[in-house]
Each structure stands twice: as structure tokens, then as C-alpha cells.
A and B are shown apart, each in its own frame.
Chain A
Amino acid sequence: MRKRLLALGLLLVGVTAVAFATDFAVIVHSSNPIRVTTLVELGKIFKGKTHTWPNERNITIVLRDPDSPGMKFVIEKILGGTVEEGKATLNDPSRKTTVPVVFVSSDEEVIKIVESSPGAIGVVDVYNITSGVKVIKIDDKQPFDPGYVLKGR
């Protein structure tokens, strides 16, 4: 037995598909005044059209490798279009002078960079967040809220 087991569920609940969904959290430095943004604004940041935060800090994007699990969904959702188009946008050499993108190999690295970089913004699996970063709401919703836009599969 597991102590959190409720045998009731066995007989009252019907067949439920095993869920593997996870929500992705958009994180910023804890000193960043921003608490909420929109998917549209997030898209502008990722496209390099918005360069700075309201506090004038330059924005840097920190992401896991676009080919890593889950990131395809994140890129398509935020940038629209296909993942290949998104990768081209993020890898555009000209944006190094506007909104640079740093690719790393794990969520832990994303968090480590964001928590030490006042202008950084990253996207991680919500189950990897720590209190060293701030999770911002997207369209007034945060991870686990019904209708949260970065609910991946």
C-alpha cells in the first residue's frame, strides 16, 4: 500500500489516461519588477522586438536546446509557426546585439543563469523551479491554472 492511496478511486473513477503533461514556467531574476506578461509580449521578446525590461535592463533569453524534450512545444507556442522557423529566429546572428539567446543543456543551468542575471528570462519545466527565480504569469495565469498557455504534453 501507499499511504496516500485511496482505494475509493479504483472503484469510483473510470479509466483515466496516464497523464504525462507538464507545465512550463517562465522565469526571471528575482529583482525583475515584472510579475505578469502576455503570450504576445513574450513572443515579441523571443523575436527580439522587445529589447529591454521596464527597468531598462537588457533582456537575455536562456533556453534549453531547442531539440530537447518539451522545447519544441515551448518554441512553437511562444513564437508561433514551426519549430524550425522558431529555431531560425532564435539563432539569427543579428539579434546578438538586441536580445541574445543562450542555449544550455538543462533546466538547472537555465535556472542558475537566470537567478544570477538581472535581465535574463528563461523557460523551464515547472517541477524544476526553485525560490531563486521568479515565476511570472502569462496572460494572468500561472502554471497549473486552468487554461495556462504553456501546458505541454
Chain B
Amino acid sequence: MRIQNPFLYSVIVLAMAGATVAAARTQAQEPTIATHTAADGAPAAEVVPVTTSSPDARHDYELALLYHEDLLFVDKGLVSLRKAVKADPRFALGHATLAYFTTDPLEERREYALAQKYMANASPDERLLIRWMDGAKNGGLVPAIAALNDLLAKYPNDKRLANQASEWLCANQAAYEHGEKILKNVLRDDPNYFPALNNLAYCYALSGQPNLAPTLMDQYVAALPAQPNPQDSYGEIMRMLGDYPAALDHYGKALQIDPSFNTSQVGIASTYALMGDQERARAEYLKAISGTKERATKLDYRILWAMTFYRENQLERGSREFAKLAVEAHAADLPVYTKAAPPPLAPASCSSAQASTSSSRALSTSFFSSRFLARSRADKLSPVSSAKTN
């Protein structure tokens, strides 16, 4: 679970800092390289091992974690993971991680099957990690938690593992105290571990303490001034606090840093939607839709786009768009909220609903896990993907 080659890690981080020399220079000053190793002086054995026979697969796997888990370039992370399992088709942990990260139910089912098929290639601790990821996403929570706690006890210095675990605990399980405890321990040992700064801020926000989040966001932005995600997260936190102008400002800064950081484009669109400007929201969503190649993500954004019609009380148009999406999604075996499509709202209800989504609590619902939702939606639609029982 770490970048094995420090030089490689440096190259990756620098490359992602941006195309310009100035950006690279800024990034070089950031503490990113040290953050993915174990605690100072800790041997490699203090992080969960990765077993693959292919150096290319290892490289792509590590790159994927850097993108997906640390810097939040989610789509790039998925692309790298696909390359990793292509380089080593028997890479059990690679398949399991791809299944865990993807929001595409077809890919998820296929990759979990492959992870199971090649499980014998994985080390005992990798198997624990796979058991956690599988159970966390597919409903086998009791063995998943046991496996996770075994790993956390065995690898107390694996910061990425701790970060992944706490994110799951806070965002998926509402187990805020547990998540906060892990993150605070990580930050006690390494106050500049930026993924933990980000996740602790969200953990606070989700647990109804959004006022504690901006300070952490300031630290996060300071730690990674040339990366878009800190600004994106800051935008989202400000939106949770109901400060929409500040949210738009931070999302805009994220896009200035990296115009391809599509989640900030969605953030802008959703902020306009919450502000009541549905026409602007739709225009912004269309940019986001064209900005992703992930079919499940594209569908999510299209649903958000269609939702704007309901929000301005164009009920027939909204229903028509959702019906079209449902047909397309079923044809492509993609999940969609057929049962979650909103019922027609009276104008007063629309206003009420819009007002309610301005509250931090309502906004906290935006942090539902895409994994969780993808699974939930798939469960409703496809008997093949029914959740496992323990």
C-alpha cells in the first residue's frame, strides 16, 4: 500500500503538479512524497504488502492509489487500475481494488469474480484487505470490520490504510467517532498528511460539526497549493455551511489549477442548483457530463441535470428526462434510481425542499458513498448483484 520507489513517487507527484515549470516548482515544495510512506524510519513491512509478478502492474497499482486515494483524480485512478490488472491478470488485490473503486456495477461484478479466482496469489494480509473491501461494498459488514481491525492493528503505521478505513467509517458507516479517532492518530504522527486533513474535515462536517472543518481546509490548501482537490473540498465545505459565493469561489480556484478537475465543475453546477438558478446549473452540468468518460459517472451527472427540472417545477419535463435516463441505463446495465426519482412537488414543496437542502444536514447527504449507492441501486435493478449476507 505504498509507493515502493521514492524516485517514481517523486516523478508522479511532480508530473501531476501541472504542465508548467512554475507549477512543478510549487509542487516540489509540497510534502507529498513523504506522506505515503510509513512513519519515519519504518520498514516497508509496516504497510500492507502488494503481491504481483509484474513490475508494470505494481507501478500502475501504486499510481492508481496515488491518483484515486491521495489526490482524488478518481477517473485517472480507475484508468491506472485497469492498466494494472491488464498487466497482471492474476493480480488479486488489483482486481479487488478496482471492484471497490468503480461505480460501474458490471465492472464491479467482473472484478470481484476475478479477485476471488486469483485469491490464492494474494498474501494473507492482502486477503484481509480484499475481505474488507468486498464486505464493505457488498454488505458483509461483520467479517469486513473484523478484517479491517486486524489490519489496522497489524499495520499501525500504514497511513493510507488508516485513511481509507476512516473515510469508510465516516462516510459510509456514520461511525464518526471511530473514523475521527483513527484520523486524529494519523495526524498526531504526521500533521501534514494531507489525505487525513481532508477526510477529518469531511468527518466533522458529516457528523454535524461543519464549523470545525474550515481550519482543516486551510491546512489542506496550504499543504497542496498546486492541487485542485483542496480547493474543491473547501468549496464543498463552504456549501455545507451555506456560503454559496465562497463555495463557487473555491470551486473556481480548483478549476483554475486544473480545468479538467471535473468534480469541481459538478460542484459549481450543484451550487447554482441550490441557489435556485436551475438554468445556469444545467449549463454547468452539461460541461461536467462532457468532461467524464466514466459511463456510470456520466449517468450520475445526467441525473443531476434532469433533477433541475423538478427543482424549478417543470414536472413533466423532469419525468420525461428521468424516464429517458432509466431506459438508457437499463439498456446499458447501469444503475439508476428508478424508485428514487422524485415525486411531483407542488410549488410550495419545491421551495421547501430547496430551502431544506441549504442546511448543512441536507448537504451532508451529498457525501453518500458512490460505492454504496452504486451497490444499492444495482441491488434494486439486478438480481445478479444482490448483496451478500454474512
Q: Which residues of B contact A127 (CB under 8 A)?
A: 145, 169, 173, 175, 178
Which chain B residue lies CB-closest to A137?
Answer: B390
Q: Which residues of A contact B368 (CB under 8 A)?
A: 6, 9, 13
Task: Pick from B21-29, B113-121, B355-363 the stretch touching chain A.
Answer: B355-363
With A1-B263, A143-B141, A144-B142 in contact, is A7–B270 under 8 Å at CB? yes
Q: Which residues of A contact B169 (CB under 8 A)?
A: 127
Count of chain B residues with Cβ under 8 Å from any Cβ of A?
70
Interface residues of B in 141-182 (CB under 8 A from A): 141-143, 145-147, 149-150, 153, 167-169, 171-176, 178
Q: How far is the CA of A8 from the CA of B370 in the complex (A)?
A: 9
B208→A18 contact, CB < 8 A: yes
Q: Which residues of A contact B14 (CB under 8 A)?
A: none
With A15-B359, A22-B175 in contact, is A9–B365 under 8 Å at CB? yes
Task: Pick from B4-12, B44-52, B86-94, B299-307 the stretch touching chain A.
Answer: B299-307
A1→B146 contact, CB < 8 A: no
Q: Which residues of B contact A12 (CB under 8 A)?
A: 303, 307, 337, 340, 342
Residue of A5, A10, A25, A142 touching B263 (CB-CB under 8 A) = A5
B362→A16 contact, CB < 8 A: yes
Interface residues of A in 34-51 (CB under 8 A from B): none
Q: How far is the CA of A19 from the CA of B173 in the complex (A)?
A: 9
A2→B167 contact, CB < 8 A: yes
A72 CB to closest chain B CB (Å) equals: 17
B300→A6 contact, CB < 8 A: yes
Q: How far is the CA of A130 from the CA of B371 in the complex (A)?
A: 24
A130→B362 contact, CB < 8 A: no
Which chain B residue lies CB-closest to A17?
Answer: B361
Residue of B168, B270, B365 touching A16 (CB-CB under 8 A) = B365
Interface membership of A147, Cβ < 8 A: no
Interface membership of B198, Cβ < 8 A: yes
Interface membership of A93, Cβ < 8 A: no
With A6-B368, A16-B361, A142-B142 in contact, is A11–B304 under 8 Å at CB? yes
Q: Which residues of B contact A14 (CB under 8 A)?
A: 353, 356-357, 362, 365
What are the interface flags for A121-153 relative to B under an 8 Å C-beta threshold, 1 for contact and 0 otherwise? 000001111111001000000111000000000
Q: Is the interface of A mostly helix, strand, loop or mixed?
A: loop
Residue of B72, B145, B273 touching A2 (CB-CB under 8 A) = B72
Interface membership of B35, Cβ < 8 A: no
A131 CB to closest chain B CB (Å) equals: 4
B300→A18 contact, CB < 8 A: no
Residue of A5, A18, A126, A143 touching B361 (CB-CB under 8 A) = A18
Q: Which residues of B contact A1 (CB under 8 A)?
A: 72, 229, 232-233, 236, 263-264, 267
Q: Which residues of A contact B176 (CB under 8 A)?
A: 20
A7→B142 contact, CB < 8 A: no
Task: Pick from B54-62, B184-192, B199-207 the stretch touching chain A.
Answer: B199-207
Interface membership of B364, Cβ < 8 A: yes
Residue of A2, A16, A129 touching B199 (CB-CB under 8 A) = A2
A16 CB to closest chain B CB (Å) equals: 5
Q: 6 closest Cβ contacts across the A-B interface?
A: A10-B366, A9-B368, A6-B370, A4-B369, A131-B146, A1-B263
A-contacting residues of B (Cβ < 8 Å)?
68-69, 72, 74, 77, 101, 103, 139, 141-143, 145-147, 149-150, 153, 167-169, 171-176, 178, 198-199, 202, 206-208, 229, 232-233, 236, 263-264, 266-267, 270, 273-274, 300, 303-304, 307, 311, 337, 340, 342, 353, 356-357, 359, 361-373, 390
A-B contact pairs, 22 of them (CB 8 A): A1-B72, A1-B229, A1-B263, A2-B202, A3-B68, A3-B101, A4-B367, A5-B263, A5-B367, A5-B370, A7-B304, A9-B368, A10-B357, A11-B304, A11-B311, A12-B342, A16-B365, A20-B176, A128-B149, A128-B178, A142-B142, A144-B142
Given contacts A7-B300, A20-B176, A22-B175, 12 further A-B contacts (CB under 8 A): A1-B72, A3-B77, A4-B171, A5-B366, A7-B266, A13-B368, A14-B353, A18-B174, A20-B207, A130-B153, A131-B143, A135-B146
